[in-house]
């Protein structure tokens, strides 16, 4: 039975959580599902959002079929159907470039309102430019985000945000509307928006359909505490920007936020599950060439961290929770249920840390298969999809894929460039999401796969790397170690082509690009001896 699910990412951390979730869909962990994703940020020019948008629109969606209607599939890569929605409050048209004072006509307010605002908001908070987010000013952000949502659906009842909220209501009328929210509790936009989203959406549907509510919808969220740091702002930047977030305060911000979530009865009554995720310290620092604190915009492109993948699996857990259990929490007015995840004290990250016990082996198998596929589609040498589309593999009895569109070939290349690595003109490899995750876990043998996989740095080394033998860690507890042999004088690519011929197209799949991806999925599983 097809599931229709709703996932919301808020702020920079939320964008990276959505990114991890999209890769989880590509792995094949959400078979037969339709995912409605809302990217909500005050700064949709930021680099993390642009990377997410490229990943979905130029990568994932083109692998599902360029300019075609997409469908959920099962037991293949990219099995889930993804619909992307975006919303950002427009703070650009005010006199002071989007300050609180300009937006609220603060200067013209009556004395009592100004006195109250003076208590709650310092002059710097009232004057800074909101375009790059709320900058750890959650009291300001919650107020503005709530009213921005209401204003948007009032002005644009047929816009993307209104459509997303309408879809939640419609799913609730059919019996199961699950909404999961990802964001940090230590920063600005995420911390501001998580508490008010259910109430804002409920008010919004009443505007779109007077008298209607979202009482049939269920809400869950990750509460991500401090886990990374960035260059601290200097006095010159503070003077220019008025307010700048500092990562040295993230731990304290997280503690205060957790106290709020533990005590606020309104928030606890509208959410059914909270997933608490963080790291013992926020020592992880994203790679950057800038010596200045980046407040937002295109330069804000922070590296990914493995706890964002934990957040994606928290969403998966919420989506897979039996409806009866979630209904019971809501029906009996129990307080929100809290869940926690820990990893080994030595910092080693295992497959079992992400997936449930029932799905750990499946996760390892599917994730490993996708990593293996990344070595079969990199440009110039073993680009299997491009070779099949061009007819070059007809001599190997591989044909029928010539009508795959060039945009679809480009899409699968783009996806794997973002997923694992790309190749620069000088032959060196770029760090995609997977490599950033490995680095966030401390490198070495700490993250899921064989450390040698992450040591390949250029094309010369890439050509020699035997991913068929060196994919999984040798002491992996969660799965039987999987390898496959090559012929005496053959290569992994030759072995793959020979096995591919033995597999068959799935006639229930409509598009050629998805047919070849499914057949590649079956081929890799057969080579490694995985049982599907």
Between these two residues, 445 and 474, which has the higher pLDDT value? 445
Question: What's the pLDDT score for residue 149?
Answer: 92
d(CA 367, CA 479): 12
For residue 486, pLDDT beyond 80: no
Q: What percent of the chain has pLDDT over 70?
A: 74
Between these two residues, 315 and 478, which has the higher pLDDT value? 315
What's the average model confidence in pLDDT over 182-200?
79
Task: Band the pLDDT of 244: cuts 50, 70, 90.
Answer: very low
pLDDT 10s digits, 490-509: 688 889 999 999 999 888 99
pLDDT 10s digits, 286-296: 555 444 444 44
What DSSP character marks residue 43? -
For residue 102, pLDDT beyond 70: no
Order across the sheet with 177-182: list the strands.
81-87, 33-40, 3-10, 177-182, 217-224, 273-277, 337-340
What's the average model confidence in pLDDT over 240-250?
48
pLDDT 10s digits, 347-360: 889 999 999 989 99
Name the least confident of 33-42, 109-118, 199-208: 109-118
What's the average model confidence in pLDDT over 146-158?
91
CB atoms within 10 A of CB 227: 23
pLDDT 10s digits, 42-51: 776 778 889 9
Between these two residues, 175 and 141, which has the higher pLDDT value? 175
φ, ψ for residue 474, nearest 5 deg: -70, -25
What's the average model confidence in pLDDT over 20-36?
97
Task: Band the pLDDT of 112: cuts 50, 70, 90.
Answer: low
Mean pLDDT estimate for the chain: 82
Tokens of 85: 């929605």
For residue 266, pLDDT beyond 80: no
Record the pTM: 0.86
Q: Is 507 exposed, middle or buried (0-12, 13-18, 19+ CB in 10 A)?
A: exposed
């Amino acid at each position: 039975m097809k599931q229709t699910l709703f996932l919301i990412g808020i702020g920079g951390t939320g964008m990276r959580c959505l990114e991890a979730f999209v890769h989880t869909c590509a792995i094949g962990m959400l078979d037969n599902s339709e995912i409605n994703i809302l990217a909500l940020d005050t700064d949709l020019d930021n680099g993390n959002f642009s990377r997410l948008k490229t990943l979905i629109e130029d990568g994932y969606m083109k692998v599902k079929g360029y300019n075609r209607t997409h469908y959920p599939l099962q037991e293949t890569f990219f099995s889930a159907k993804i619909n992307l929605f975006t919303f950002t409050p427009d703070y650009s048209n005010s006199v002071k470039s989007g300050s609180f004072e300009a937006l609220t006509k603060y200067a013209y307010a009556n004395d009592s309102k100004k006195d109250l605002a003076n208590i709650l908001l310092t002059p710097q908070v009232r004057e800074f430019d909101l375009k790059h987010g709320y900058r750890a000013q959650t009291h300001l952000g919650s107020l503005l985000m709530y009213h921005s949502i209401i204003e948007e659906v009032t002005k644009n009842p047929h816009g993307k945000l209104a459509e997303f909220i309408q879809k939640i209501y419609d799913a609730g009328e059919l019996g199961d509307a699950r909404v999961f929210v990802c964001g940090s509790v230590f920063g600005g936009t995420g911390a501001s928006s998580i508490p008010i989203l259910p109430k804002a959406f409920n008010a919004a549907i009443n505007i779109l359909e007077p008298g209607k509510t979202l009482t049939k919808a269920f809400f869950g969220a990750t509460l991500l505490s401090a886990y990374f740091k960035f260059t601290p702002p200097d006095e010159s930047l503070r003077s220019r920007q008025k307010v700048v977030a500092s990562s040295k305060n993230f731990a304290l911000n997280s503690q205060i936020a957790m106290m709020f979530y533990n005590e606020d009865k309104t928030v606890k009554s509208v959410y059914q599950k909270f997933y608490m995720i963080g790291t013992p310290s926020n020592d992880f620092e994203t790679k950057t060439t800038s010596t200045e604190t980046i407040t937002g915009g295109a330069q804000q492109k922070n590296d990914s961290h493995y706890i964002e993948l934990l957040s994606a699996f928290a969403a998966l857990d919420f989506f897979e929770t039996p409806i009866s259990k979630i209904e019971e929490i809501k029906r009996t007015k129990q307080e929100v249920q809290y869940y926690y995840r820990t990893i080994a004290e030595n910092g080693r990250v295992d497959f079992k840390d992400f997936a449930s016990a029932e799905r750990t082996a499946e996760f390892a198998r599917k994730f490993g298969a996708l990593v293996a596929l990344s070595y079969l589609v990199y440009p110039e040498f073993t680009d299997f999809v491009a070779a099949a589309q061009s007819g070059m593999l007809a001599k190997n009895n591989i044909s029928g894929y010539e009508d795959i569109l060039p945009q679809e070939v480009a899409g699968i290349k783009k996806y794997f460039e973002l997923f694992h690595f790309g190749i620069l003109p000088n032959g060196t490899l770029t760090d995609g999401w997977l490599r950033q995750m490995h680095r966030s876990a401390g490198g070495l043998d700490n993250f899921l796969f064989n450390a040698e996989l992450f040591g390949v740095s250029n094309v010369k080394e890439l050509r020699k790397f035997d991913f068929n033998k060196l994919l999984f860690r040798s002491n992996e507890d969660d799965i039987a170690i999987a390898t496959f042999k090559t012929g005496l004088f053959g290569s992994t690519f030759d072995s793959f082509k020979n096995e591919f011929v033995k597999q068959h197209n799935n006639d229930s799949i409509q598009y050629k690009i998805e047919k070849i991806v499914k057949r590649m999925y079956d081929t890799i599983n057969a080579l490694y001896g995985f049982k599907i």
